[in-house]
Structure 1
Amino acid sequence: MAVGQGALGRTTPEPKSARQPLRQEVVDGIKAYILHNRLRPGDPLPTEPELCEALGASRSSVREAIRILTALDIVEVRHGRGTYVGRLSLSALVESLTFRGLLSPDDDFRVMYDLVEARELFERGMAERIVASLGEEQIASLAGHVDDMRRAGAGEGRGFVEADRAFHTLLLAPIGNDLIGQLSTAFWDVYVIVAPHLDVFTHEHEAATIANHQRIVDAVKGRDPVEFAAALAEHYAPVRQRIAEARARR
């Protein structure tokens, strides 16, 4: 859909007068508006009547397009306040992969394996940058997350899973690559949701998981990327093994 300078004061989609645009054209028109105006998450979008006029679309078409974009986290509707650019997160990817994992376990042992492998690739592939970038406060926080895991394993403090997630999120944060951070977290979230349904992780594995996380922290403290990569390999290898064993039991 073409774009031009509209009455909204910024670059807007050019109106269509010959026919009502299809739903996908309305979706594309709103995305074009966001891109051409270089809007960021949280920036406001035109009102519904303004979008209808600019796109030459009916109110029902615009509302349907907004619902589609909201589901993709491209648009956020704040009731009583208007429509805004969404967080542009990977929530739609998480939901899709999760549903696939729950719907088709036989096929998705492979998907689970691939997700774990991708997370390991992110962390091991950037071992030198991660070890060099983590500050002392961040290292202390990593150690604190391991302590949280210990307390959770003993039935105290916050949850084991939450501490594990926070650990790996912090591990990638200092490299400054938001896409890798979001992808890794998204893959982690899918794994955690689906794994219990596939009997991949049990409380019997907690002690080994804690020990592996502690080794990662020790490697970071020593500023040793080789040991850091080795610790990650030791951490992820049994995870892949548990997926293979769970698949064999099916």
Structure 2
Amino acid sequence: MNLIDDDVSRLRAYIETRASNEDDLRLPPEPRLCEALGISRGRLRTVLKRLESEGLIWRHVGKGTFIGPRQIRADDASLSAAISIDDLLDARLVLEPQLAAQAAIHATPADIAALEQCLAEMQTAKPFIHWKRLDERLHNTIAEATHNALLLMLYGTMRTQMRVNLDSRIEAVYSPMTEPRQDTDDEHRKLIDAIRAHNPDHAEQAMREHLRSVRVRLFGQR
């Protein structure tokens, strides 16, 4: 074992001990780490880079170095900048049809009534902003109808990115004309009917067809 590998092993052992004994997963400042490990500042930074590449630690500029994989927040600006429109639309096609299927299995009469009420309001909504908020509420109600807190959390994370990346395009397409809204409401009706019938296969397919139609309306075939 060479010297750098020895330093990496000692820091890894230090981190494992600290992680098991401390509630705070932030490492001490570099001078204290250098003293604890008996290495220079330059060598410490080399070792930290090695462990960061392994996912054992992550660094937040201005806040410090933390044990474990990097923590990602839904509203992290750097994360949003790395997400393309296609990434987001593909993610919707993976997650939301499964949410619809789970909703069809687990939805209560109260969930279905909430979906019906939301759609009824959408069909009579005049201002675009009111219709859009109802559209968001309907999709969120489907996620809630899964009665799965983790799935709802995943959906909430994706919805945050949708607001950042898609809102302006949705407004540009849906605000000037009512026809796209009417088509979307018709697709929502098919989806809600499948959930009310507790048919997960039909609900999954209806959501997938709806999302593909929305993608075409927003960006054409891509």
TM score, norm. by length of structure 1? 0.55
**Structure 1 CA distance, aligned partners of 2:121 and 2:101?**
26
Q: Tell me, in whole angstroms, the C-alpha distance in 2 between the residues paired with 1:236 and 1:171.
A: 14
| Residue 186 of structure 2 is aligned to residue 211 of structure 1 | yes
Residue 164 of structure 1 pairs with residue 135 of structure 2: yes
Detail structure 1 runs of 4+ shifted over 4 Å in the superposition. 8-12, 18-22, 96-101
1:64 lines up with 2:35 in the alignment? no
Cα distance in 2, alignment partners of residues 195 and 100 from structure 1: 18
Are 1:149 and 1:163, in contact at CA under 8 Å, matched by a contact in 2?
Answer: yes
Query: 1:138 pairs with 83, 106, 111, which one?
Result: 111
Q: Secondary structure at the match of 2:62?
A: helix
Match of 2:160 in 1: 186
Question: Which of 1 and 2 has higher RCO (CA within 8 Å, sep 6+)?
Answer: 2
Cα-to-partner distance string for 1:16-68 (whole Å, 9 max, x where unaligned):
2366676xx6xx8xxx89xxxxxxxxxxxxxxxxxxxxxxxxxxxx99116x9
Code of the aligned partner of 1:125? Q
Partners of 2:205 and 2:219 in 1: how far apart?
21
Cα offset for 1:120? Answer: 2.4
Number of aligned residue pairs: give it: 187
Please give the alpha-carbon distance, in whole angstroms, between the structure 2 residues aligned to 1:182 and 1:189: 11
Contact persistence 1:98–1:193 (CA under 8 A): no
Tell whether 2:91 aligns with 1:91: no
Task: Point out where structure 1 has 5 or more consecutive residues left out of the alignment.
Answer: 34-61, 75-87, 102-110
| SS of aligned partner of 1:186 | helix
Indicate conservation of the 8 Å contact 1:112/1:243, yes or no.
no
> Amino acid of the residue matched to residue 155 of structure 1?
P
Whether the 8 Å contact between 2:92 and 2:211 is mirrored in structure 1 is no
- Larger C-alpha radius of gyration, 1 or 2? 2
Structure 2 counterparts to residues 64-83 of structure 1, below 5 A: 64-65=62-63
Structure 2 residue identity aligned to 1:169? N
Matched to 1:224, the amino acid is N
> Which protein is richer in helix relative to its size?
2
Q: Please state how far the C-alpha of 1:201 moved relative to its aligned partner.
A: 3.8
Distance 1:230 1:134 in 2: 17
Q: How does 1:18-57 map to 2 (within 5 A)?
A: none
Residue in 2 that maps onto 1:40: none
1:73-99: CA deviation from partner (whole Å, max 9, x where unpaired): 96xxxxxxxxxxxxx64111xx44655
1:98–1:149: structure 2 CA closer, same or farther, 3 Å change rule?
A: farther
Cα deviation, residue 239, structure 1: 1.5
Percent identity between matched residues is 16
Compared with structure 1, are the counterparts of its residues 9 and 184 closer, same or farther at alpha carbon in structure 2 (3 Å cutoff)? closer
Q: Does 1:231 align with 2:206?
A: yes
- Segments of 5+ residues of structure 2 without an aligned counterpart are 1-10
Correspondence 1:240 to 2:184: no
For 1:139 and 1:132, the matched residues in 2 are separated by 12
Secondary structure of the residue aligned to 1:91 is coil
Structure 1 pair 193/5, CA: closer, same or farther in 2 (3 Å)? same
Match of 2:101 among 122, 128, 131: 128
8 A contact 2:112–2:196 mirrored in 1 = yes
- Report the CA distance shift for 1:172/1:235 in structure 2 as closer, same or farther (over 3 A): same
SS of corresponding position for 1:192: helix
* Structure 1 residue 202 displacement after superposition: 3.8
